[in-house]
Amino acid sequence: MKQLPPLYTLDHGIIVVGEYAARGKNRYARLRIRPHPFFPDAPATANGILVRKNRAILSSKLGRALLSSEHAHHCDENELNDDPDNIELLTAAEHNRRHKTGTKHTAESKAKTSASMKRAHAEKRHNKGVSKK
């Protein structure tokens, strides 16, 4: 298969060969990049791998791969603004606090969660508070 020519290269040798705007259920812009050590688990597709643009930019900015537990947060909350100065590293808990503070669960969502947890316990699928890595 013929390799696509690079559009541009981010720091640390992240070679971008395609750029795709956010659309439909994909709220974030994506990049097609050549395989890179910062993205070892990204699924390979034709002519590279697809990654979220904000995660690629943050990895390039930090000079390392992001852990699956780390989030690339848009400071101005505009998901289309992928300027490196607008993207910061947050843990999942920090990210939730930024976006979920003050929200309330409905009685219906609480009931669904409760039923789901009861099923998980009955089927012995719960993790007893141990987080998966």
> What single DSSP character describes residue 65?
P
CA atoms within 13 A on the CB side of 18: 16
Residue by residue, pLDDT tens for the chain (133 residues) are 678 889 999 999 999 999 999 888 888 899 999 999 999 988 888 889 999 999 999 999 999 999 988 999 999 988 889 999 999 999 988 887 877 766 677 888 888 888 988 988 888 876 665 555 4
Short-list 48, 67, 49, 50, CA closest to 58: 67
Tell me, yes or no, if the pTM score tops 0.85.
Answer: no
What's the confidence (pLDDT) of residue 102? Answer: 65
* CA–CA gap between residue 47 and residue 32 (Å, rounded): 8
Beta-sheet strand order (sheet of 8-10): 8-10, 14-20, 30-33, 48-52, 44-45
